[in-house]
Structures are given as C-alpha cells and as structure tokens.
Structure 1
Amino acid sequence: MKNLVLPILLLLCVLTQSCQQKKDSESEVLRPISEVFAAYHNDRMQLNPLEATFNGDNRYNDKMPDDLTQAGKSRAGAFHKKYLDELSRYDRDRLTEEEKTSWDLLQWECNMGLEGLKFPNELMPINQIFSTHLLISQMASGSSVQPFKTVKDYENWLKRADGFVVWCDTAMVNMRKGIKEGYVLPASLIKKVIPQLADMNHGPVQDHLFYTPVKNFPKDFSEADKARLEKEYSEMVQSKIIPIFEKFHAFVEKEYLPAGRKTDGFDALPQGKAMYDYYIKYFTTTEMTADEIHNLGRSEVERISKEMEKVKAQVNFKGDLKAFFDAVRKNKELMPYKKPEEVIAHFNKIHEKIKPNLVKLFELTPKTPFEVRRTEAFRESSAAAEYNPGLADGSRPGVFYVPIPDVKTYNNVSDESLFLHEAIPGHHYQISLQQENKALPEFRKNLWYSAYGEGWALYTESLGKELGLYTNPYQYFGMLSAEMHRAIRLVVDTGLHSQGWTREKAIQYSLDHEAESAESITAEVERYMAGAGQALSYKIGQLKIRELRSKAEKEMGSKFDIKTFHKLVLESGCVPLKLLEDRINEWIASAK
C-alpha cells in the first residue's frame, strides 16, 4: 500500500484553506446582525398578520394568517429554518451582551416554532376561549385593536372579513379530518362554542356586531364614503358573515358535538403526551416534567392553605377552611354594587391609592396611557378579566377589561390583587416598558413568554402591602386566593393532561381548595382543557422571580435596591426564565 499520509495532509491543508477562504468570504458579506433581527421581525409580521395588527403594524390589516393549511405550515417551517441558518453564520461570542440576548431569543423562537409544527394543531382550530373566531369578533366591534380611523381602515376590514370566511371553511374541513384521526375537542368544550357561534348567525344586519364600525364613522368621512361603506358592510354581514356563522354553527352542533371526546385531557390524543411535554416547555421555558410540576403544585397548595388559616382566625371565623371559602363567596358586604360603573370606579380608586408608593418601588414607569373598561357584552359571560396592550406611540391605551355579567353578584374580594396583576404594576408596566424600549430590536418589543410575563404579573400581586393595599384582611385573603388559584393550576393542569384526571375531579379539587364560585371554577377548568400548559406559567414564573429577589436580598445585604431589581427584571422585556436568572446572578456577582 502506498504511503497516503502526505497526500491526506495536503488534501486537509487544501480543504482547510478552502474553508477559511469561504469563512472569510462569508464574513465579508455578513450584514450587521441588527439587520437579521429587523428582517426576522418583518418576515414574522407578514406571516402573522393578526399579530402585526396587535403590534400596531398596519401593513397587513387586510390579511388573515394561513395557519390551517399544509402550505401555510410549510411556509412557517421554512421561515424558522431560514433564520436558524442566518444565526449559525455569526460568532455569538463576538456580539455585544444585548445582541447575545437577542441571538438566544431568536434561536429559542425558531427552535420552538419548528418543534410546534410537528403537531397537528390545525385539526383542533377552535375552542371556547383561545380561538380565532372570538378574536375576529372582538376586532369586528371597532373598539379593539383593528383600527377604524380612515376609509382605508374600513376597506381593510372588508378584505380581512373575506379572509375570515375562508378561515372558517378551512377550519371545518380540518375538524372533519380531526374527527377521523382522533383530534377532537371534549364534548363539554364543544357545548360552550355553540352559543358563541349562534350569537353571530342571524340578523338584523344593523344590530350585528360586524356592522358596528359603520355606526361610528369618524367625523371627517364624506357622505359619499359613508353611503358606500354602509352598503358594503351591510352586504358583507348579510351575504358572508351571517351565512358562514350559520354554516359553522350547524356543523358544530350537528356533526362535531356528536363526535366530541368523552375524555378531558391531552393524554387521550394520539400524540398527546408529546404535545403536552412541548406545551410545558413552551409556556414555562423550563425543562420541568409534568410530575415535577404536579408535586410542586401540591406543596404550594399546602403552604398557602396555612396562610389562609391565619386570616380565617383573624376574622374569627369558626368553621373549617372550606366553610370559610363558602362564606366569602356569599358575603354580601363583598358584593356592594348596583351598577357596572361602580365596579370600574372601584378599580380606578385602587389605582389612585397605590400611586404614591409606586415611585418607591419602580424607577422605570411606562408612558403608554391606561384605561379600565367593562368587557364587551358578546363575550362577557365566558370571559375572564384580562389586559390588552396599548401602543408605544400612545395611539392605543393599554386596557384592563373587567367582565361584569351580573353586577349584583360581583364579589370584590380579589380586586386589589387583580388590579396589580392585570393592570399596574403587572401587565401594563411590563408590556408597555418592553414596547417603549428603543434599545430593543423590533422583534423583542412584543415578544411574549408566558412564564416571564404571567410570572411577573403574579409576583406583583405580592407587592400589595408595599403599595399600601391589603389593609383589609379580606383583601389579603383575596390575594392568597389568587395565589392559591395559580398553585391549583399546577396540580389541575398536569392532572388533566398527564395524570388521567377527569373534568369533574379537577373541578372538585379546585372547589376544595379555593373560594371561587362553582361557575367560575368550571370555566377555569375548561380553560385548562382547551389551552394545555398555559396555566402552568404563572406560578412557575412567580416562584423564580421571588427566588431571585430573595437570593439578591440575602447575598447583597445593604447593597440590595428594590428599584434596581425591578429595573433589571423589566428593562430587557420578556425572556425565558434561564436568561432572567443569569441576568440577576450577574448583578449579584458584580455587587460583591
């Protein structure tokens, strides 16, 4: 055999030089990574036009997402792969610290996006709470995120409504396929969707939600434009919207409901375990298992129960904790309202009360305006209190929506903690500061990680005493109840989707451990059934932020500053919990 060492060495040398030349060539044409981040954001908005509208990007206000077809999924997959390839061309170690964070976030987004596309989520496209038909109906009202300020805005909505009709038809095709393949909603959830569709499947046209924008034309519209748009909107509702809702309603009631699952959790679906594991990672940004979270939830339920016992003793209630829950539910002193406006005024009063103390805890405060509003009537009966983000330019305020389906039974026991969570300094501070931060690339200004965002909001509920709230033991009990509610979620969500729990078992466990009404608990449990894993994010995120604050207070001693801690948590916007932990640990180390 000939001596091949030298030829091989020569070949390796040539290959090395070739690779180096290729790298040098690539480095010469490599655009600044900030341009990659900007391109990613633009491509993402084009792929997700509803998200663009929510972000105040009006370029695609006439479009619907193509998220239910195989072609649409293929485009999404190509999008994620493209940007993973882009990132691989950069040496992360040579980036600035903020660029490294953006690099990590973009890699996480693309990897999670690709992983999620493995599952046939398009076969279960609707449910009673996290669903496009509800979002589009809310936008159709003219008082949500879809702008109706110009004639072009009104024309955009007509085109988007056409896209929504196509979306509904595609959803029904997919749902029929889902029935055949075993991907179908539990029957108990399907029953909640039917009246939502029935609300939209009839006239009179002038009373239909989708007709509402033409009742509120801007003053500068010409009479000719008004007349034309009134005619076009009337035709849209009469010939497109009402018929598609009629069709959808009939399909769900007569065909989909009889095929509905008798099981309740994702573990009953063909790829259910893998899907749930993915949702755990997606919503908690951790590697925790369902069993670990289930056990953590049980320990948190036990801890909070002991705190509740202290409040029960403080108010001299003689029964057990379960009896105290029932007494709180029925306490007429906690239901003092006669008009919905009084509930809204109560939340505004809470805001005024905490204002003097906010400056003691926060260096960063948002400029985005803020409002409290009653939830719209068409979705009020099944909605929870929620926050809808504003826009950094001030053109749209952040809105805290409060459902008040029956003002006479509205119980305010958790209102102080609810305001801190959904409004200030919870979601409104965190989301607005993120959107207003000019140092962040565009794709990070509206990025959302539920463990961080909901974890922060739940953490802020614990700031009540520092902000001058919880002076009434019942309001403090309301805070404990809200925290208990999130601890129960760890048990119940994992119970439903990984432990074989039934809907009824989940409802009973909740009734045994919190003061919410049976109706509210049922709606909550059905929410977990529809959106597996999302409910885990609150407590997982809160516990991590609390852990990081305690660690900093202990290790930094007199050098610990609460304003700086909150600034560090908030200033880079939403990040996975590991990146937040690294950030706080660096701060602690630098102080030493």
Structure 2
Amino acid sequence: MKKTLIALLSILLFINCKREENSKNLVTSKANEDFNALLSDYNEGKLALKPIDATFAGDNRFNNQFPNTLSDEYILQTKDFYTTFKAKLDEFPDESLTESQQMSKAVLAWDCNMNLAQNNFKNDRLLPINQMWSINLTMGQFASGSSAQPFKTVKDYENWLERLGLFNQWLLTAKQRMQQGIKEGYVLPKSLIRKVIPQFKTLAETALTKHLFYSPVLNFPDSFSATDKKELTVKYTKVLNQQLLPTFKALYDFLRTDYLVAGLETSGIDAIPEGKAYYQHAIKFYTTTNMTADEIHELGLSEVARILSEMEKVKQEVNFKGDLKSFFNYVRNNKELMPYDTPQQIIANFNAIHDKMKPQLEKLFGNKPKTPFVVKQTEKFREASASAEYNPGSLDGTRPGVFYTPIPDASKYNVFSDEALFLHEAIPGHHYQISLTQENEELPDFRKTLWYSAYGEGWALYTENLGKELGLYTDPYQYFGMLGMEMHRAIRLVVDTGLHAKGWTREQAIQYSLDNEAESEASIISEIERYMANPGQALSYKIGQLKIRSLRDKATKELGDKFDIKEFHNQILETGCIPLALLEDKINSWIQLKK
C-alpha cells in the first residue's frame, strides 16, 4: 500500500511538472511569436523609413518615395522609430527566446542605439553632400538605369518621376542646410568641395538630351507603346527643365562661390563643433568596438611595420636592387603591369581570375550563393572619384551582384593588385558574404540588409589572404598586390586617426601613404579625401580582418584535428552582419561545442 501511494504521488508530481513545463513552453512559444512579429514590424518600418535601401534590396513597394532626410520632421520621426523599438525589446527577457532570437535581440538593440547616437549629431544634416558618399551620387547611379532602380514598365518610369520630384526637394533643403552649416561651423574642407564642384558642373551644364537624368527616356523598353513613350518623354522633359536642372545649377553656383569660400583649411572632423566626440562615435559605429583613436593608431603603425617586412621579401624575390620606396615607384610605373588597351580586356581578366580559382573554392566553402554575379566598369559620371566597389544583388536573386571597377584610362590601368581586389569585392568576399546573408531563410528579414562595416569589410579583407589557398598569387607581383592592399588598410588605421584625432593635414596623410605603399599618387589623393569625407569608415577593414583572423587561429589551435575550414567559414557567414563582439561570442561557443 505504501509503495502504491508513493508511486501515485510520483505520477501526480510528474503530471504537475509536465503541466508547468507545457505552460512554460506555451508562454515561451507565445513570446517567440510576439518577438518574431516585433522583428517583422521593425523591418517593415525601417524599409518605409529608408526607401532607397528597400530599392537596393529589390523591394519595389517604395520605388516612388524619397523622404527629405534633412528635414526636422524626418529627424524626429527617425528618433521616435528607434526609441520605440528599443523600448519594446525590454518586453522580451532572453530566457523566453531561442538562441537565434537572442542574437537578433542583441543586433536590434545595437542598431537602435547606434542610430540614435548618430541622430544626436548634426553632421548628417549640415554636411549632406560630399564627393563620394552622399545620396545624390546614388541617385545618379539609379538614373543611369544600370543600378537597382528598375525601368521595365510604365509604372517604373512613373515611380522614378515621383522620386525625382522628391529628390529635388531634398537638394533644395541640402542647400539650405549647407548655408546653415556655414553659420554654425559645419563645412567641408576646401579640397573636398573642389571635388564636388565638377560633379555638379556636369549636372548643371549638360544639355537635356545628353543628361544623365534623361537616360531613362533614351532607353525605353521595346514593349512601350508610342503613346507611352511620347507622354513619358514630355513628363521627363518637364521635370528636368522646370525642377532638377535649375536646382543643379543653383547648387553648382553655391558650391563654387559661397561654400568654397567658407570651406575649411583643416582636414579633420575635429575642426567642426563636437568633432572629437563625433569621431569617437564614428569609431564605435564603424568598428563595432570600444577602441580609442590612440589604440587604433598604434595598431596601425605595428601592422605597417609587419607588412613592410613581407614586402621586402617580395622585392628580393624579383631581384629588385633599390630600396622599398623605389620598388613602390617601379611597380606603380611598370608598363609590363599595364598590358591592356580597352576596359573590356580588364573586365575579361577579372572573369579569368574567377575561373582560375573555382576548383579551389570547393575546398574552403561548403555554402555558395545562388545570386548571379557580374563585373562592370564604373559609370563615367562618378568614375573619377570612385574606388572599386560591390553593389549587392536583390533579395530575391533576380538582380545580380555587381563588382564595379573604375577604368578612367585602360592603357594606364595597373593589374598588380587585381587578384586581391577580386577576392575582396567579389568572390569570396562581398558577393559571398552579402548574397549568402540575403539567401539565408533562417535569418529574420531585418538582418538580411544590415551592414556593419567591421564585419562586412573585415570579411572581405580576410578573404584577400585566402589567395594562395585558392590557387592565386603564383605571380610575385600579384602577391605583392595583396600585401599592398593589406598595407593600404593598415595605413588607413594610421592616417584616419591622424587626420581626425591627431591634427594631421591632408598633405601629411598623402605623404605617409606614398612612403608606405605602391598606389599611384592620384589614387592615394582620392583615398585620403575619402577618409576626410567619412571619418572612421576606413578603420573597419583592418579591425574586422584581424578579429576574424584571430578567431580562425584560436579555433585551429584549440580544435586541432577537429578544425574544419569549411565549417569555420560557414560559422562566420551564417549570421550575416553582426557587431564583432557578438561574432566572437558565437565562435567561442562553437569552439566549446566542437570540443
């Protein structure tokens, strides 16, 4: 009887525990569903807030929209959006969420915090236009018809007309904000203004039928009726003649007169109000770390010294007798490294690099993107100030990822760094990293379009070092090109912090680069001015690369025979862009699990 009673009590206790467990699971399940709904709402809200990003993602619902991001109303709207979602995160304790959801919670919290911090500074609204990064250049890409804005249907053309009208309002506000910036001390350095002026001169003075923004009219799809073509031509002509062209002219006149006169003689962001605080924010924003400018500067100096010693070995291998600086000049000006006459030959060479390494990709990567990929020459209107870059494909994979390379003069194009450049911008760099993220059905939508430069650029720079494993760098000059590109990123740690935190001039930064790398002087000038226009961004590459490399070294050491390079790369890539601290936690957990 006593045993029966104990058994009965045990059964009742078990049933009660199960009820509590089931009740807890129901609560957790409900929390999971609610949290997923929150992530979905965040993604939808962010796409509406940033319709240009939606267009790049291939979401065409907002293709007619262009919010005036410089208006007080938009700034308040943005602040309210991120504040609201940051507060909602507190409703979801970590224990109610899955491991993947906990990562999404941490990423969303970071995203909200960094956007709110960015919103506290006046830089975005009082310095709205520069020679490389600002939205007017993106709109030029869209207008060319070769970017993310579609021009396939009459509706597409009408969407673009609406967007152009709103873009015109943004341009008018940009001029007002820049006038306000003059009064408050927020002005670009003169050297940057001198690069913006020619861009607007072209937009202001080009005849209508040859104008970049008239391009859609010159490229109507054959399916359009004669009536559609006629009506759209009239509408485009009206918008350009009555709105955009006069606005471009007004901005051009303003830039070359009042704005240039007010331009700063200094080079760093520390010269504007709150500049020092902004730079520390920019370091955190772009590196996703709490490093200081001094720490990064010293790291840069040590990396420059390390890479210089590797470069010396290549110089000896090719039997060059002069010093390293002379070798830089030799490589810069070596006509044997400038073998092409046309842009098409340069594009073909990049495609040949891809073909050469395809067999080895199987050994390093288990997952490969389905999104197609192409190489294109950078459009002429922005080529003079552009660097090589990657533009992602659409989320659904119907628009390919594009590796853009500027070729102002094919006969002077030096190929010594092309293998490393392709690895970085294309495969397995940005194209693998971004496309695999977009194709990952396990990730919530908001994480498919996030961009954290330390992770994204860090990965791309890390892949440059995979060249020998991928069957490349058999030519010592191509290996020197890889060292040169890594040196370029190490130099960035020195000159970016030098410009923005240590009082360096533009000329000092240019000279430091000339002394330590083989890039042409024209390229170095463009790069230094790039760093001046977007403080902190240039730091992200090396900081991210060093973190990924250290995680690989740690995993290799601790796992020994259990280390699988394919699995490691999958672990790095499967999360999409995340802050480096979260990536480190993830890889450390993976190492412990494998043990």
Scaled by the length of structure 2, the TM-score of the pair is 0.94
Provide Cα deviations, 1:487-544, integer angstroms capped at 9, x if missing partner.
0000000000000100000000000000001110000000000000000000000000
Q: Which position in structure 2 is the counterpart of 1:36? A: 38
Equivalent-residue separation in structure 2 for 1:275 and 1:49 (angstroms):
26
Instruction: Output one character per residue of 1:421-475: Cα deviation in whole Å (capped at 9) or x when no partner.
Output: 0000000000000000111111001111000000000000000000000000000
Find out whether 1:145 has 2:148 as its counterpart.
yes
**Match for residue 284 of structure 1?**
287
Q: Do residues 187 (structure 1) and 184 (structure 2) align?
A: no
Shift of 1:587: 1.3
Q: Could you tell me which amino acid in structure 1 is paired with residue 193 of structure 2?
A: I
How many angstroms does 1:216 deviate by? Answer: 1.5
What is the rounded CA distance, in whole Å, between the counterparts of 1:78 and 1:340 in structure 2? 48
- Compare 214-223 and 342-351 and name the one that shifted more: 214-223
Q: Using the TM superposition, give the Cα deviation of residue 203 of structure 1 relative to its aligned residue in structure 2, in angstroms.
A: 3.9
Structure 1 match to 2:126: 123
- Please state how far the C-alpha of 1:209 moved relative to its aligned partner: 0.7
1:378 and 2:381 are equivalent in the alignment: yes
Which amino acid counterpart does residue 496 of structure 1 have in structure 2? L
Which consecutive residues of structure 1, in runs of 5 or more, have no partner in the other structure? Answer: 1-23
Distance 1:311 1:572 in 2: 37
Report the secondary structure of 2:468's partner residue: coil
Match of 2:17 in 1: none
Structure 1 Cα separation of the partners of residues 257 and 283 of structure 2: 34
1:74 to 66, 73, 76: 76
- Displacement over 6 Å in runs of 4+: 24-30
Contact 1:280 1:288 in 2 (8 A): yes
Please tell me the residue identity of whatever aligns with 1:494. T
- Superposed, which structure 2 residues align to 1:126-205 within 5 Å? 126-205=129-208
- Report the counterpart of residue 8 of structure 2 in structure 1: none
Q: Which residue of 2 aligns with 1:524?
A: 527
Q: Distance in 1 between matches of 2:511 and 2:118?
A: 32
Contact 2:31–2:92 under 8 Å retained in 1? no
User: For residues 27 and 345 of structure 1, do their structure 2 counterparts lie closer, same or farther at Cα, with a shift above 3 Å needed?
Assistant: closer
Separation in 1, partners of 2:509, 2:121: 26
Q: Which residue of 2 aligns with 1:415?
A: 418
Call closer, same or farther: CA 1:401–1:73 in 2, change over 3 Å: same
Q: 1:319 aligns with which of 314, 317, 322?
A: 322
1:454 aligns with 2:457: yes
Aligned twin of 1:242: 245
Contact 2:32 2:98 in 1 (8 A): no
Structure 1 counterpart of 2:60, one-letter code: N
Change in CA separation of 1:28 and 1:514 when aligned onto 2, cut-off 3 Å: closer
- Amino acid aligned to 1:290: A
Equivalent position SS for 2:150: coil
Q: What corresponds to 1:12 in structure 2?
A: none
What residue number does 1:474 align with?
477
User: What secondary structure does 1:373 align onto?
Assistant: strand
Matched residue type, 2:271? A
> Is the contact between residue 420 and residue 457 of structure 1 (CA under 8 Å) also seen in structure 2?
yes
Measure the CA separation in 2 of the matches of 1:85 and 1:555: 40
> Retained in 2: the 8 A contact 1:203–1:242?
no
CA deviations on 1:40-81 (whole Å, 9 max, x unpaired) are 000001111111111111111111133111211110000001
Taking the aligned partners of 1:84 and 1:242, their CA distance within structure 2 comes to 42
Contact 2:31 2:97 (C-alpha < 8 Å) held by counterparts: no
Alpha-carbon RMSD across the aligned residues, in angstroms, is: 1.4
Equivalent residues of 2:144, 2:216 under 8 A apart: yes
Task: Report SS of the residue matched to 2:403.
Answer: strand
Of 131-140 and 354-363, the range deviating more from structure 2:
131-140
**Alignment partner, residue 294 of structure 1:** 297
The number of residues matched between the two structures is 569
- Given the two structures, how large is their TM-score scaled by the length of structure 1? 0.95
Distance in 2 (alpha carbons) for counterparts of 1:29 and 1:409: 60
Residues of 2 paired with 1:513 and 1:395: CA distance?
Answer: 42
Is the CA contact (8 Å cut-off) linking 1:293 and 1:491 kept in structure 2?
yes
Aligned counterparts of 2:282 and 2:416: Cα–Cα separation in 1: 32
Contact 1:208 1:237 in 2 (8 A): no
Q: What corresponds to 1:114 in structure 2? A: 116
Deviation at 1:32, TM superposition (A): 1.5
Contact 1:484-1:514 at 8 Å conserved across structures: yes
Equivalent position SS for 1:201? helix
SS in 2 for 1:528: helix
Q: Which residue of 2 aligns with 1:8?
A: none
What SS is found at the alignment partner of 1:35?
Answer: helix
The 5-angstrom pairing of residues 332-343 of structure 1 reads 332-343=335-346
Give the deviation of 1:29 after TM superposition: 9.4
Aligned equivalent of 1:86? 88
What is the DSSP-based 3-state SS (H/G/I as helix, E as strand, rest coil) of the residue aligned with 1:399?
strand
Say which SS state the counterpart of residue 535 (structure 1) adopts: helix
Identity %: 60
